[in-house]
Structure 1
Amino acid sequence: MRAVSLVPSLTEAVAVTLPGVLVGATDWCTHPAGLDVVRVGGTKNPGTDRILALAPDLVIANEEENRPADLDTLRAAGVEVLVTEVRTVPQALTELDRVLTACGAPSRPRWLDEAEEAWAAPRAAFGEGRRRAVVPVWRRPWMVLGRDTFAGDVLARLGVDHLYAGHAERYPKVPVEELRAARPDLVVLPDEPYRFTAEDGPEAFPGLPCALVDGRFLTWYGPSLAEAPRMLDAALRAARR
């Protein structure tokens, strides 16, 4: 099996479970560290000629991460493309199993069982009740989590309801003045896709608790899912002190 992954989360999942199967990945596929494969460009602008030159048996993609036109080009050239859809934690677990099976995994990896166990029971970062949050994912312009997102489902399972979950768009543009005026209980600032830091983010929300979180635990679906509840819980609790 020769596979190319166009999704950082799935790159990590395949590389950890099936070393040697991946022959190509995007420039944004940073895990596992030291992954030695051909780089084929970005998730939104992969080099389809470069992918085809690798003669993969399978290209792994995602309906949100990758553009249909690029995937159609690969299919037209005779390459099998597996497109995932991940908008909830249970869906992530199912899709990970599907991807690994398609890549030739002889059995379900232990880390996937651990991830399922970690998310099996409801959790709450705040024992005294649920919290309302805004979750910026970009700054110029300001964009936040909207409806039907994986990260939104992750937070909901930790007792955090983000204010734009019912918005018509999945990643609406919202002026920062509106975000501040909503007076959320919490502002969740991940370090990807925009890298919010202690100096670049909290100053936009004076007087509001801000949780700086590792984006890999909030938005990635792979081996990090097993650790995500504990790591995010700690970050969310720290913001309340």
Structure 2
Amino acid sequence: MQVTDQTGSLVVLSRPVQRIVSLVPSQTELLAALNLDEQVVGITKFCVHPENWFRTKTRIGGTKQVHPDRVRALAPDLIIANKEENVKEQVEALAAEFPVWVSDVNDLPSALSMIRDIGIITDRGQPAGQLADKIATAFAKLASFPPKKAAYLIWKEPYMVAGGDTFINDMLTHAGFENVFASQNRYPAVSEEALLNSNAEVFLFSSEPYPFRPQHLETFQRAGRTCLLVDGELFSWYGSRLLQAPAYFSILQQQISQAANGVHGT
């Protein structure tokens, strides 16, 4: 079977695929949702969902530091990677030995395409298509919120925010926010002063990759800004977890309304 991945590379696969290694947490969870427990033989140390896989599957390193010897020992007939989350040189080295399918997800449409494509290459086309349709329907039913200017923080020391060419930025738009750093690419570092001088009405502090806590919001709250701790997985995971995102975004808007009325943080 010959398929083209989301980066435009041709991948030759055996049929059916029997031994899968996933290098991406959100795509690992997708494979579980597609009932591929027997086929998935390796995951990363960051693939925390589902919990039983995290406890029992062989870990081949991290998303940025894959151990090729551990991968070889698993003899995969398919490796699933991602353009942003994995290191290009490591992926290319693996592709010289094994079939590697690479996703490139920047928004909801490309996430839905990824879900459908992975379903096809793993012989789960029908359930993957149904899952993608459910996610699309859930987002279509999401209420339209008056846009609020926001900054989405992913790191501290230095502060880093989500830029405009990220999947997070697209989720912010769906959730009713206008990213004040949308003119910048990827995840730029910004100073505390620049954050406070921005026109952000809301500061969203993500649970990952930096685990922000309530005390990290205090400086911004003292400046009179609306601040919320948010579930980073529901803004950045682009697999089956997307099904939960619309309901979460609705709850988040309710929390922001409460915060605007004097109840800061969560």
Bucket of the pairwise TM-score, normalised by the shorter protein = over 0.9
After superposing the two structures, state which structure 1 stretch, 210-219 or 115-124, moved more.
115-124
Q: 2:59 aligns with which of 33, 39, 42?
A: 39
- State TM-score, norm by structure 2: 0.84
1:187 paired with 2:187, answer no
Unaligned runs of 5+ in 2: 1-17, 259-266
**% same residue:** 36
> What secondary structure does 2:64 align onto?
coil
Contact (CA 8 Å) 2:142, 2:250: kept in 1 or not? no
What pairs up with 1:84-233 in 2 under 5 angstroms?
84-109=103-128, 110-121=130-141, 123-124=143-144, 126=145, 129-167=146-184, 169-200=185-216, 202-206=217-221, 207-233=224-250
Task: Give the counterpart letter for 2:190 in structure 1.
Answer: V
For residue 76 of structure 1, report the CA deviation from its aligned partner.
1.6
For residue 68 of structure 1, report the CA deviation from its aligned partner.
1.0
Contact (CA 8 Å) 1:61, 1:84: kept in 2 or not? yes
Task: Give the counterpart letter for 2:109 in structure 1.
Answer: P
For residue 122 of structure 1, report the CA deviation from its aligned partner.
5.8
Q: 1:82 aligns with which of 101, 104, 110?
A: 101
Contact (CA 8 Å) 1:218, 1:232: kept in 2 or not? no
Q: CA–CA distance in 1 between the matches of 2:125 and 2:84?
A: 28
For residue 198 of structure 1, report the CA deviation from its aligned partner.
1.6
Structure-2 residue corresponding to 1:20: 38
Structure-2 residue corresponding to 1:62: 82
| Runs of 4+, deviation exceeding 6 Å | none
Q: CA–CA distance in 2 between the matches of 1:63 and 1:190?
A: 22
Contact (CA 8 Å) 1:190, 1:196: kept in 2 or not? yes
Unaligned runs of 5+ in 1: none
Q: Which has the larger Rg?
A: 2
Q: CA–CA distance in 2 between the matches of 1:236 and 1:28?
A: 29
> What secondary structure does 1:195 align onto?
coil
Contact (CA 8 Å) 1:131, 1:159: kept in 2 or not? yes
After superposing the two structures, state which structure 1 stretch, 210-219 or 98-107, moved more.
98-107
For residue 155 of structure 1, report the CA deviation from its aligned partner.
1.1
After superposing the two structures, state which structure 1 stretch, 186-195 or 23-32, moved more.
186-195
For residue 106 of structure 1, report the CA deviation from its aligned partner.
4.5
1:240 paired with 2:257, answer yes
- State TM-score, norm by structure 1: 0.93
For residue 121 of structure 1, report the CA deviation from its aligned partner.
4.6
Q: CA–CA distance in 2 between the matches of 1:31 and 1:133?
A: 29
Q: CA–CA distance in 1 between the matches of 2:104 and 2:228?
A: 27
> What secondary structure does 1:135 align onto?
strand
For residue 114 of structure 1, report the CA deviation from its aligned partner.
1.6
For residue 170 of structure 1, report the CA deviation from its aligned partner.
1.1
For residue 181 of structure 1, report the CA deviation from its aligned partner.
1.2
Task: Give the counterpart letter for 1:93 in structure 2.
Answer: L
Contact (CA 8 Å) 2:180, 2:199: kept in 1 or not? no
Q: CA–CA distance in 2 between the matches of 1:99 and 1:182?
A: 40
